[in-house]
Structure 1
Amino acid sequence: AIFKQTITFEQDIPREKRRMRIAVALFYFCLGLCFSSWASRIPDIKTRLHLGDAAFGSILFALPVAQFLMMTFSGKLVTQYGSRKMLLFALPLYTICLSNIGLVTHGWQLAVALFLFGLSGNVCNISMNTQGVAAEKLYKRPIMASFHGGWSLAGFTGALIGLAMINLKVAPYTHFWIVILVVWIIVWRNNKYLVPFQSTSNQEEPRRKFFSRPDSTLLQLGIIGFCSMASEGAMFDWSGIYFKDIVKAPSSLVILGYT
């Protein structure tokens, strides 16, 4: 009975709303595919640059620092210009920053590339999740988990693509551009279906402070988010290196550490 009700409900949803949901999910997939492509080649890039663990760890710190610094500005940009416009602006920049990572020849260049990758990625994240919230409001039921599922699926897909590229001895730069072209095609075919911008700002509202002290509930949520992201970041950044340097897995299987 539940299955029949679900089918009936989906059939009752206008085609435009379904198309918006698919488009938003595909943009989640694109963002996850770009990030997983970088993560899948971390061991190769570390080896190519001849970096030790301490130096490489310091360089990797550039990405979360950029994301943290951009967080407040991303929200303001999305509020002012709309999530659709900012997503279509930031995602192409994100892909270009990914390609730059494949070109680096020195540690400082990698730090700069990751910093820019983090800046554009944060704008993409805020814009994309705002699109997810807007699509969820159109559906009038919880569907956000399906969008994040698209990001997770992209993680596995990116790892499998990375595994194939490593086995074929494809350089990271070429690998990244293959992924970028796929992402651009998806964006080109689906950008018109994103949820349109609906301004919720009120010109008569008092000007908000740049920084407000968080209450205890928000602070607790922030601590939980910090701990979860710290463990997730360690897994993303170091699992492949662990498989390569400690486990001594063959190069063709190192990527499995990421999955």
Structure 2
Amino acid sequence: MTATDLRPQAAPPRAARVATWMYFGLNGFAVGMWVVHIPSIEQKTGITHSTLGLLLLVLGGAAFTGMQVAGPLVDKLGQRRLVPAAGILLGVALAGPGLATNWWTLGLTLILIGFGNGSIDVGMNAQAVVVERGYPRPIMAAFHAMWSIGGAIAAIVGAATLRADVPPEVTLASAGVLCIVLSLVASRFLLEATVPPEDDVAEGGQRAKPSAKLVWALGGLAFGLMLSEGVANDWAALHFRDILGTSVSTAAYAYGAFAVAMTVGRFLTDRVAAVVGPAAIVRWGAAMAAVGLTLVIVVPWVPVALVGWAVFGLGLAGGVPQLFTAAGNLDPRSSGALMARVVGLGYVGLLAGPALIGGLAHWMPLNIAFILPVVLCVLTFFGGPVLKSPAVKKDVS
């Protein structure tokens, strides 16, 4: 089987690549717009911090459910149907928090946001795998970088509208309409994965399925890397404030160093992966991340800690895209379902990381609690060779 066999001709690969960039960007933008407005929505609905925390868990659960539902639907209905539908659902749902008046109306809208976000997450990653098959080199990491760019744009737009006292319902509804329009515009350029007849039959009259152990191994690596990413998202600034004693404004630089390094790293990863291979990206990226976070743990100087958070972000930048590509290429006939498992496990890690560190911080200093993601990065270094398995490859023969 060759890459050409798997490449449908519904749209030129370059057009499909741009369309997929748009979906990653609009997803990051939609999530960012919600996050920026959390404080104002909390105040408007009159809910407490504890209630908000429970509702955010509901959102996370809905996202995980959306991933598991969308995976098989991608394989059954096709990506050109599911991805735009998920983008439209996310756009419609995004208007909801601005219209919510109490905890239960907010909860209902967050269920829709979570489900839409989980669905488009699986769908757009599956589409990215299909688009990548039309290229002679890796391009997955750049898609993930576009998600980060979308989130950054949301932060800028959200801050500007909040400063101008634009009502949240107006801003979120407008952002939702933009997501719907972009989903419709980009939909016509998506590719559809196809499997040639000769690939349907393998030895014994049936195509061999990838082992569950291999899928779980990829999912476990995604869990560890995304848990580490979640730790940086929620605790980097607090580490600067509580452990290093900086001001709130200086503390913001910690997460900024991590986020900028991760975004830049994702734009660079594809070129490096084409030379060294995906296993090396996962392994040595995890090693780099472990070194960076170790600096954060042991060195109490702000400049060195900033370097540590940046190295941590650079190391984590390329690993997850390689794992998603591997999952999507295990079996083109069920790439959506397989990717849903790996993406879902990674998402659980992203949600669990901040909570686990918070629990550990009750018993030890915050920087010591960071040993957990360091250990996971080290385990990822030793588990990375799973990407060298014959079943985990992109066939370009």
TM-score, normalised relative to structure 1: 0.76
Provide the residue aligned with 2:83 in structure 1. 87
Q: In the alignment, what sits opposite 2:104?
A: 108
The verdict on how the C-alpha distance between 1:42 and 1:205 changes in structure 2, with shifts beyond 3 A counting, is: farther
1:244 corresponding residue in structure 2: none
Correspondent of 1:187 among 183, 187, 203 = 183
Q: 1:153–1:222: structure 2 CA closer, same or farther, 3 Å change rule?
A: closer
Larger relative contact order (Cα-Cα within 8 Å, sequence gap ≥ 6): 1
Alignment of 1:35-184 (within 5 A): 35-184=31-180
Q: Where in structure 2 are there 5+ consecutive unaligned residues?
A: 1-10, 239-246, 260-397
Provide the C-alpha distance between the structure 1 equivalents of 2:104 and 2:232, rounded to a whole number of angstroms.
24
Matched letter for residue 119 of structure 2: V
**Alignment partner, residue 217 of structure 2:** 217
Judge conservation of contact 1:71–1:123 (CA < 8 Å) in 2.
yes
Structure 1 residues 177 and 232, CA gap change in structure 2 (3 angstroms): farther
- What is the aligned-residue identity percentage? 24
- Partner Cα distance (2:173, 2:152) in 1: 18
Unaligned 5+ residue runs, structure 1? 1-14, 239-246
Q: Distance in 2 between matches of 1:30 and 1:134?
A: 19
Structure 1 residues 111, 231: CA separation in 2 closer, same or farther (over 3 Å shift)?
farther
* Counterpart secondary structure, 1:194: coil
Name the residue aligned to 1:228.
228
Q: Is the 8 Å Cα contact of residues 41 and 172 (structure 1) preserved in structure 2?
A: yes
Secondary structure of 2:12 counterpart: helix
CA–CA distance in structure 1, aligned partners of residues 18 and 222 of structure 2: 30
CA drift of 1:215 comes to 7.2
CA contact (8 A) 2:94 2:175 kept: no
Greater C-alpha radius of gyration: 2
Q: Distance in 1 between matches of 2:141 and 2:149?
A: 12
Q: Secondary structure at the match of 2:44?
A: helix
Question: What's 2:317 paired with?
Answer: none
Displacement of 1:72: 2.3
1:104 and 1:132, CA in 2 relative to 1: closer, same or farther beyond 3 A? Answer: same
Q: 1:182 to 1:219 in 2, by over 3 A?
A: closer
Contact 1:136-1:143 within 8 A present in 2 as well:
yes
Which deviates further from its counterpart, 103-112 or 187-196?
Answer: 187-196
1:17 correspondence with 2:41: no
Deviations 1:142-193 (A, max 9, x none): 1111111111111110111101110111111110122223223323332211
Deviant stretches of 4+, over 3 Å: 199-206, 212-216, 232-235
Partner of 1:196: 192
- Report the CA distance between 1:80 and its aligned residue: 0.7
1:91-146 deviations in Å (ceiling 9; x for gaps):
11111111112111111221221112111211111110011111111112111111
More divergent stretch after superposition (174-183 vs 36-45): 174-183
Cα–Cα, structure 1 residues 52 and 214, in superposed 2: closer, same or farther, change >3 Å? farther
The alpha carbon displacement at 1:205 in A equals 5.3
Aligned to 1:5: none
Q: Is the 8 A contact 2:86 2:117 kept in 1?
A: yes
Aligned mates of 2:233, 2:103 — CA distance in 1 = 19
Contact 1:82–1:199 (CA under 8 A) maintained in structure 2: no
User: C-alpha displacement at 1:232, in angstroms?
Assistant: 6.2
Report the CA distance shift for 1:191/1:223 in structure 2 as closer, same or farther (over 3 A).
closer
Counterpart CA distance in 1 for 2:101 and 2:200 is 49
Q: How far apart, CA to CA, are the structure 1 residues paired with 2:68 and 2:109?
A: 21
TM-score computed with the length of structure 2 as normaliser: 0.51
Query: What CA distance in whole angstroms lies between the structure 1 residues aligned with 2:248 and 2:48?
Result: 17
Cα distance change of structure 1 residues 116 and 180 upon mapping to structure 2, 3 Å threshold: closer
Residues 84 and 127 in structure 1, CA contact (< 8 A), matched pair in contact too = no
Are the counterparts in 2 of residues 24 and 131 from structure 1 also a CA contact under 8 Å? yes
Question: CA separation of 1:19/1:226 partners in 2, compared to 1, >3 Å: closer, same or farther?
Answer: closer
**Once the 2 structures are TM-superposed, how far is the Cα of residue 225 of structure 1 from its aligned partner?**
4.6
Could you tell me whether the CA contact under 8 Å between 2:46 and 2:102 is conserved in 1? no
C-alpha RMSD of the superposition: 3.1
Deviation at 1:248, TM superposition (A): 8.8
